[in-house]
Amino acid sequence: MLIECLKLEGVETIFGYPGGVVLNIYDALYSSDIHHILVRHEQAAVHAADGFARASGKVGVALVTSGPGATNTVTGLATAYMDSIPMVVFSGQVPTGLIGNDAFQEADIVGITRPCTKHNFLVKNAAELPGIIKKAFFLARSGRPGPVLVDLPKDVVVSKAPFKYPEKITMVGYNPTYEGHLGQIKKALKAILAAERPVIYAGGGVILSKAADKLTKFAKALDIPVTMTLMGLGCFPGSHKLSLGMLGMHGTYRANLAVTESDVLIAIGSRFDDRVTGKVDEFAPGAKIIHIDIDPTSISKNVKVDIPIVGDVSAVLDQFLGLMGDVDGKERKKHLAPWHKQVKVWEGEHKMDYGQGKDEIKPQYVVEQLREITGGDCIIATEVGQNQMWAAQYFTLDKPHCWLTSGGLGTMGYGFPAAIGAQAAFPDRVVIDIAGDGSIQMNSQELATVVQYGLPVKIAILNNRFLGMVRQWQELFYGKRYSHTVMDHAPDFVKLAEAYGALGLRAEKPSDVKKVIKQALAHPGPVVMDFWVAREEGVYPMVPAGASISNMLLA
């Protein structure tokens, strides 16, 4: 029944790790045409399902056993929950008669994951299994997406019942609003057309609702500059002249100043995260704020909104575009010319630069070369920390679903298994994990997975022998007291790759960088690239904690 439900939901690939109470499921998988990828840790199974979902736009699926197998999924579930990623995780559970008895490998995973799932289910009898699975997938992908957990007791899994899969599901109290209120949309459009300094602030919701093309059309028609959150990168072409790049703590100088000086801020599929806003009282202080989001609880949660529009980003942008037929493009350019001129001034005042010399590799240079050599035609996953921010700043993204990063939770160890999920979804595409030497060690055991399944993931380690982002804070605010951030005893990553059967490459000077990247991309299998970069290089611009986003450290 479980396998048949998955097939009816269009599931072709799942990620998992077997154990005692899910052996019946694994036995059914043995003769199934569903492709199962055996990871080496349950956390990696959930991150891989997450990466699969972000890259493909489908629901990711993971399967684990009870007890520690289930508890090992919590970090992955919390990561997906914070970033609104559609996923269904199946966990094994001890027989219903033993629940609450502290049985072997028992854990209350429903209780544990309640705060970090969109919803979860404990299946109590086999007859209700098909309906629960239908609900799980419906919840995961509808409204504001998110992870759903289905807990499967052993006795339920081994029992039988008549199979009937529901054609559709309705859930009392759950009815997401997709169409925006027309009156609010007209009010917002009037404010946008009257604005002299408008800015679009786009987030991950644009990508989740598959509305990138509509956002691009909207911004171009109205000639409005676009800044993106970390999660929104790729929802608008980063190389377009209207792109301001990323905003926030490590955002571009022009993006942060443009938002601060804006008179109308159009927030689309974003949630005013603290890494974006900085000091809330000084965030876009003179702007009328329009907020489009499918989740009504996100509106005015962190920043007071003047014109709220509850609805799916794609549907609401369709409504806007339908009302914009008589907008004069030439008149818009004339009207906003002084604003674009000012943005150009800010861009000239501080360009993203790092000064690559001949002696040591700058990490930004590695990222730029990855972008140049691939032409941007690849999927980028990141770990968390400096590597993540350098990737966001220097790997210009022009398309959605090509950027996999842990934005809300900031999960070290996310990138490599997420890259595995993306590579499983797209076996013929180039998938690169930009990593730090700290983060990559969180899930480096998954090298066994990519070798076993022939997944040609490329890992680019920006190896500074530090926990780099924490070290940067210690340098700036703790007098260079590098308390427990030095990582001089990291493994030899080339030998580690070879031990697993992958290719390992190292670059120790700038002249090695291009050669290593080209060799890695030419290799048909998984590759670990170990780039020995400048040890104390920092990520700039940087907004100190508690400061406004206009108050940036630039070097």
Q: What digits encode the pLDDT tens for the residues 111-168? A: 999 999 999 999 999 999 999 999 999 999 999 999 999 999 999 999 999 999 999 8
Bridge-based pairing state of the strands 243-246 and 264-268 = unpaired
Between the alpha carbon of residue 214 and those of residues 145, 237, 295, the distances in Å are: 20, 12, 20
Q: Give dist(CA 16, CA 25) in Å, integer.
A: 11
Half-sphere exposure of 31 (CA within 13 A, CB side): 3
Tell me, what's the pLDDT at 326? 84
DSSP states of 317-377: HHHHHHH-TT--HHHHHHHHHHHHHHHHHHHHHS-------SSSB-HHHHHHHHHHHHTT-
Q: What is the CA radius of gyration of the chain?
A: 24
Average pLDDT over residues 200-223: 98
Instruction: Give the three-class secondary structure for 511.
Output: helix
Nearest to 2 by CA among 131, 141, 167: 131
Tell me, what's the pLDDT at 166? 94
Tell me, what's the pLDDT at 97? 95
Tell me, what's the pLDDT at 506? 98
CA 531 distance to own-chain centroid: 24
CA dihedral 151, 156, 160, 162 (to 10 degrees): -50
Q: What digits encode the pLDDT tens for the residues 25-37? A: 999 999 999 999 9
Q: How confident is the model at residue 8 (pLDDT cuts 50, 70, 90)?
A: very high
Tell me, what's the pLDDT at 143? 97
Q: What digits encode the pLDDT tens for the residues 387-438? A: 999 999 999 999 999 999 999 999 999 999 999 999 999 999 999 999 999 9
Between the alpha carbon of residue 542 and those of residues 11, 69, 281, 529, 547, the distances in Å are: 42, 39, 19, 28, 10
Catalytic site residue from 118, 135, 154, 288: 154
Is pTM beyond 0.85 here? yes
Q: Please give the biggest Cα pair distance in the chain.
A: 73
Between the alpha carbon of residue 151 and those of residues 21, 29, 315, 320, 455, the distances in Å are: 11, 18, 34, 42, 30
* Residue 6 clears pLDDT 90, i.e. is over it: yes
* Residue 282 clears pLDDT 90, i.e. is over it: yes
Tell me, what's the pLDDT at 211? 98
Contact between 434 and 367 under an 8 Å Cβ cutoff? The reply is: yes
DSSP states of 2-58: HHHHHHHTT--EEEE---GGGHHHHHHHHTSSSEEEE-SSHHHHHHHHHHHHHHHSS
- Whether 90 is catalytic: no
Catalytic site residue from 4, 105, 124, 301: 105
Catalytic site residue from 12, 104, 186, 331: 104
- Whether 52 is catalytic: no
Tell me, what's the pLDDT at 94? 97
Q: How confident is the model at residue 555 (pLDDT cuts 50, 70, 90)?
A: confident
**What is the average pLDDT value for the chain, to the nearest integer?**
97
- Whether 42 is catalytic: yes
Between the alpha carbon of residue 468 and those of residues 194, 411, 459, the distances in Å are: 45, 15, 18
Q: How confident is the model at residue 77 (pLDDT cuts 50, 70, 90)?
A: very high
Segment holding 498, helix H or strand E? helix 493-500
Instruction: Give the three-class secondary structure for 111.
Output: helix
Q: How confident is the model at residue 329 (pLDDT cuts 50, 70, 90)?
A: confident
Beta strands in 80-228 (DSSP E): 87-93, 119-122, 147-153, 198-202, 226-228
Catalytic site residue from 249, 469, 529, 542: 469
Between the alpha carbon of residue 186 and those of residues 246, 307, 324, the distances in Å are: 28, 10, 10
* Residue 170 clears pLDDT 90, i.e. is over it: no
Average pLDDT over residues 319-325: 95
Average pLDDT over residues 490-503: 97
Tell me, what's the pLDDT at 465? 96
Q: How confident is the model at residue 225 (pLDDT cuts 50, 70, 90)?
A: very high
Looking at this protein, which amino acid is placed at residue 110? V
Q: How confident is the model at residue 531 (pLDDT cuts 50, 70, 90)?
A: very high
Average pLDDT over residues 227-237: 98
CA 211 distance to own-chain centroid: 16
- Other Cβ atoms less than 10 A from the Cβ of 346: the count is 17
* Residue 495 clears pLDDT 90, i.e. is over it: yes
Q: How confident is the model at residue 79 (pLDDT cuts 50, 70, 90)?
A: very high
- Whether 105 is catalytic: yes
Catalytic site residue from 9, 42, 261, 347: 42
